[in-house]
Amino acid sequence: MVLMWGDFAQAGIARVYPIDFLAISNGLKTFRIQAGRYPTEAEGLMALVEKPATYPADRSWQPIMKKLPQDPWGNPVHYIRTPRLEKEFGFGLYSTGADGISRSQGNDPDDWNSWTEDGRGRGSFMDQLKEVPVALWLALVTFVVGISVIVRSTRCHGAKAKGR
């Protein structure tokens, strides 16, 4: 396990994580200084190892890491940029844990991430709902309203047909 300072909590409290998110975070911050921006999700953490094709032409580039970081279970560390994470931290890092699978981008119970207080998955249901794009909510509401209209019209037409 790696002892790291709570860079993400801003409290300066030491915490123990199995993944050195602080070193990766510092690499991403170095990339931001060099490129004037964080890597895109498409560039991912590979941008710390190899120069991305979309790297600004007017900026010099040099590798920040020798190889891509892995978690203690030999799985890659994942880099994400959701609106909430960008607003609060600039980015998020997560490990899929021992099973190597994440169904929630770092919020599974066995996942490790850079944005929760204890570094573990288990983000609350409300936190996960905040990540759902507004367009998806609107599509869901439209779908539910459409289904209810169809059900009502079927009931009305069925009642009229029986009354004849």
| CA-based nearest residue to 18, from 85, 89, 94 | 94
* 81 and 141, same domain (yes or no): no
Q: Is the pTM of this model over 0.75?
A: no
* 136 and 97, same domain (yes or no): no
Q: How far, in Å, CA of 144 to CA of 26, rounded? A: 45
* 37 and 110, same domain (yes or no): yes
Displacement of CA 92 from its chain's centroid (Å):
6
* 95 and 158, same domain (yes or no): no
pLDDT at 31: 96
User: In the chain, which stretches have pLDDT less than 70?
Assistant: 1-18, 122-133, 156-164
Report the domain count for the chain. Answer: 2
Displacement of CA 112 from its chain's centroid (Å):
12
* 112 and 151, same domain (yes or no): no
Which structural domain range is residue 141 located in? 132-164
Cβ within 8 Å of residue 123, ≥6 positions away: 104, 106, 107, 113, 115, 116
- Per-residue pLDDT tens for 20-57? 888 899 999 999 999 999 999 999 999 999 999 999 99
CATH of the domain at 101: 3.30.700.10
Q: What is the DSSP letter of 117?
A: T
